[in-house]
């Protein structure tokens, strides 16, 4: 079920109305689980079986891991659990890619071909697999106690706002929100889900901002991006640069918009989900970018992959470099089965690795006063975004010839302008939206958290603002809801 459809609006209203009317703890929790399953079933049908299997498998294996005293057996059960989850994800997401590559090699040596499986990628599998794996690893590390209730754990994994495209939840952040302390006791009981006015207003504001980013900016800029990158070979340098800039805005509006809607919907029901974006296009370095972009994924990879790889060996430049490259390789591959995503991850791995080692070894650059000045800050931001947009080309263009050509044109300018000017004339509205977005993004950077600022407006001003934004969305709506980009991951 797409957020940007009337189907979701009606679904969400029914969920909120039911929770508001029936104030019974156990019923509310079970109802949200059933509603979440329906939310996925609506788009995936039988593929919901994979979600149920993942939930049951990891719930019971985590209990076994927690009860096992022998460390070898404990590690065996961990590997078994993670292997099943990764095996399921790998089969559905990467089988056809692997077969294609085997066929390419086989053809080169004159061999036969293996038929493709033509598997449909289950919606949300990359996200709920990481939810479940993070839970099991945390139980193994004794960072959290395993959930005693299948109902609580199932609500954590299936919770519909973040089920299909994140943010990636941590059990230690979410499951405690399902319970509350009993008066005069250290014991806990199921939390009654209450829709409170402050959460309602802030949550609705976040959702409106999310819809605005997605439906007003991202969807209306996408035709410009598609025109440039559907076949970039032959395009001018400035056309490629324009396409990279437009795509950066499109994917930010699309994905951060989804995150805002998900976080806002959860907040209305009283659940707090950490932010997933924090003005990434004002990052001053590649590592700073990943502290601001898709935060739930970057911190997941950091905590569960990078830290174990680099454990107790951070003094070794080779160990740090290789650990970062491996982490970003898999971060890129997580996004999809294709060489373009591997290239995307490898570029970011190289950026962060080189930056980390330079900062570690060069006191002169690390403490240079220039980078603390206003001009130094602007320089750092521009250089960082240049590198980020270069990597975005690999994210957007799927064929290797197109990626190679576009990246060369991005780096080695030809200074031709005729084609670029023609595209600007042909896509006036997307170009205006690019400029408007950049202006609003800068204002947001200077003013702080615009969502909180708007949510604290007097009711009359807030209603006027919200109505205006909704009217703009409706006015620029193309008539057909566009899928969120991260639905494909």
Q: Give CA 418 to chain center in angstroms.
A: 37
Task: Kindly state whether residue 139 falls inside one of the protein's structural domains.
Answer: yes
Can you tell me the mean pLDDT for 49-65? 95
Chain centroid, CA 484 distance in Å? 11
HSE (side-chain half, CA atoms, 13 Å) at 296: 23
pLDDT at 44: 77
> pLDDT tens, 391-403?
999 999 999 999 9
Please indicate, yes or no, whether residues 227 and 353 belong to a single structural domain of this protein. Answer: yes
Whether pLDDT at 327 is above 80: yes
Please indicate, yes or no, if residue 421 is contained in any of the structural domains. yes
The DSSP code sequence of 26-65 is: HHHHHHHHHHHHHHHHHHHGGGHHHHHHHHHHHHHHHHHH
pLDDT at 332: 95
Examine the pLDDT at 273 and tell me if it is beyond 90: yes
Per-residue confidence band for 5, with pLDDT thresholds at 50, 70 and 90 = confident
Longest dimension (CA), the chain: 77
Q: Among the three residues 194, 211, 228, which one is the final residue of a domain in this structure?
A: 194
Q: Which two tokens stand for residue 53?
A: 């299997």
pLDDT digits 0-9 by tens, 59-118: 999 999 999 999 999 999 999 999 999 999 999 999 999 999 899 888 877 777 888 888
Task: Quote the pLDDT of residue 187.
Answer: 66
User: What is the separation of C-alpha 280 from the centre of its chain, rounded to a whole number of angstroms?
Assistant: 13
Task: Identify whether residues 81 and 202 lie together within a single domain.
Answer: no
Considering only 180-189, 278-287, 369-378, 474-483, which range has the smallest mean pLDDT?
Answer: 180-189
180 forms beta bridges with 189
Residues 301 and 449 in one domain: yes
Of 242, 237, 241, the closest CA to residue 417 belongs to 237
- Identify whether 1 is part of a domain: no
**pLDDT tens by residue, 189-204:** 788 899 998 899 999 9
d(CA 176, CA 191): 10
Contact 233/215 with Cβ under 8 angstroms? no
Distances (CA, A) of 252 to 200, 280, 434: 25, 9, 12
Query: Rounded distance, CA 178 to CA 152, Å?
Result: 7
Domain-terminating residue out of 144, 174, 194: 194
The yes-or-no verdict on residue 302 having pLDDT over 70 is: yes
Q: CA 419, CA 422: separation in Å to the nearest integer?
A: 5
Based on the fold, state whether residues 112 and 77 are members of the same structural domain.
yes
The pLDDT assigned to 86 comes to: 95
Band of pLDDT at residue 251, cut at 50, 70 and 90 = very high
Q: Where does the pLDDT of residue 33 fall: very low under 50, low under 70, confident under 90, or very high at 90 and above?
A: very high
Burial class (CB in 10 A: 0-12, 13-18, 19+), 70: exposed
Neighbours of 475 (CB within 10 A): 8
Confidence (pLDDT) at 477: 84
Is 451 part of any domain?
Answer: yes
* Mean pLDDT on 12-39: 94
Q: Is residue 296 located within the same domain as residue 162? A: no
Give the model confidence (pLDDT) of 128-137 as tens digits.
Answer: 999 999 999 9
What's the CA gap between 124 and 486, in Å, rounded?
9
- The mean pLDDT of the chain is 92
- The average pLDDT across 458-486 equals 88
Residue 434: which of 280, 216, 210 has the closest Cα?
216
Residue 178 has pLDDT above 70, yes or no: yes
How do beta strands 179-181 and 188-190 pair?
antiparallel
474 occurs within a structural domain: yes
What HEC string does 393-411 produce?
HHHHCCCHHHHHHHHHHHH
Alpha helices per DSSP H over 212-361: 219-229, 237-268, 286-290, 295-301, 307-310, 317-335, 339-361
Is residue 190 within a helix (H) or strand (E), and if so which, with residue range? strand 188-190
Are 136 and 227 in the same domain?
no
Let me know whether 53 and 187 are in one domain. Answer: yes
One domain, residues 477 and 409: yes
Res. 183: pLDDT tops 70: no
Query: Could you say which of 176, 194, 212 is where a domain stops?
Result: 194
Domain that holds residue 320: 198-488
The residue with greater pLDDT, 345 or 448, is: 345
pLDDT at 263: 96
Query: Bridge partners of 189?
Result: 180
Exposure string (b/e) for 433-458, b if CB count within 10 Å is 16 or more? Answer: bbeebeeebeebeeeeeebeebbeee
> Strand locations in 148-247, DSSP E?
179-181, 188-190
Same domain, 65 and 45: yes
Give the residue, 478 or 473, on which the prediction is more confident. 473
- HSE, side-chain direction, 13 A CA sphere, residue 484: 29
The per-residue pLDDT for 182 is 63
For residues 11-22, give the mean pLDDT: 95
Q: What sign for the dihedral angle of Cα 458, 462, 465, 471?
A: negative
Mean pLDDT of 137-156: 93
User: Is the same domain home to 154 and 68?
Assistant: yes
Token pair, residue 52, equals: 């149920």
Tokens (6 digits) for 293:
């972009």
Reported pTM? 0.93
* Nearest by Cα to 131 from 108, 153, 107: 153
Number of domains composing the chain: 2
Q: Residue 288: inside a domain, yes or no?
A: yes
Query: What's the confidence (pLDDT) of residue 104?
Result: 87
So what's the pLDDT on residue 489? 65
Q: Coil, helix or strand for 180?
A: strand
Does 189 share its domain with 202? no
Q: Which of 129-133, 263-267, 482-486 has the lowest mean pLDDT?
A: 482-486
For residues 202 and 184, state if they share a domain.
Answer: no
């Amino acid at each position: 079920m797409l957020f940007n459809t009337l189907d979701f609006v009606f679904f969400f209203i029914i969920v909120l109305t039911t929770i508001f009317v029936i104030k019974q703890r156990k019923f509310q929790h079970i109802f949200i689980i059933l509603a979440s399953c329906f939310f996925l079933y609506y788009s995936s049908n039988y593929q919901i079986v994979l979600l149920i299997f993942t939930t049951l498998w990891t719930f019971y294996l985590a209990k076994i891991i927690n009860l096992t005293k022998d460390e070898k057996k404990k590690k065996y059960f961990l590997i078994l659990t993670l292997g099943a989850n990764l095996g399921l994800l790998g089969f559905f997401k990467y089988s056809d890619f692997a077969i294609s590559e085997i066929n390419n090699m086989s053809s080169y040596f004159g061999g036969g071909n293996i038929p493709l499986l033509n598997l449909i990628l289950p919606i949300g599998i990359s996200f709920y697999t990481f939810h479940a794996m993070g839970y099991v690893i945390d139980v193994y590390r004794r960072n959290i106690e395993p959930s005693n209730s299948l109902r609580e754990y199932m609500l954590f994994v299936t919770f519909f706002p973040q089920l299909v495209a994140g943010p990636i939840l941590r059990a230690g952040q979410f499951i405690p929100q399902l319970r509350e302390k009993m008066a005069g006791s250290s014991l806990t009981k199921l939390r009654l889900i209450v829709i409170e006015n402050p959460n309602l207003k802030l949550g609705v504001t976040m959702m409106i901002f999310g819809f605005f980013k997605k439906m007003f900016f991202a969807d209306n800029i996408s035709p410009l991006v598609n025109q440039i990158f559907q076949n970039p070979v032959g395009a001018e340098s400035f056309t490629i640069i324009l396409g990279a800039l437009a795509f950066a805005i499109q994917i930010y509006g699309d994905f951060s918009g989804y995150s805002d809607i998900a976080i806002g919907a959860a907040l209305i029901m009283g659940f707090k989900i950490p932010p997933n974006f924090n003005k990434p296009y004002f990052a001053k370095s590649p590592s700073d970018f990943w502290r601001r972009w898709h935060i739930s994924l970057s911190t997941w990879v950091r905590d569960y992959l990078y830290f174990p790889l680099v454990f107790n060996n951070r003094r070794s430049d080779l160990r740090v470099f290789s650990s970062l490259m491996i982490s970003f390789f898999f971060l890129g591959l997580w996004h999809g089965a294709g060489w373009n995503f591997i290239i995307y991850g490898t570029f970011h791995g190289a950026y962060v690795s080189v930056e980390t080692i330079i900062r570690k070894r060069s006191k002169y650059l690390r403490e240079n006063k220039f980078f603390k000045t206003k001009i130094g800050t602007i320089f750092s931001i521009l250089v960082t975004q240049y590198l980020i947009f270069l990597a975005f080309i690999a994210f957007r263009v799927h064929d290797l010839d197109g990626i190679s050509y576009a990246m060369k044109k991005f780096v080695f300018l030809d200074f031709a302008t005729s084609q670029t000017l023609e595209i600007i004339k042909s896509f006036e509205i997307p170009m205006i939206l690019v400029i408007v977005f950049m202006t609003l993004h800068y204002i947001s950077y200077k003013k702080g958290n615009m969502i909180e600022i708007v949510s604290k407006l007097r009711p009359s001003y807030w209603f006027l603002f919200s109505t205006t934004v909704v009217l703009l969305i409706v006015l620029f709506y193309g008539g057909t809801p566009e899928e969120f980009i991260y639905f494909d991951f």
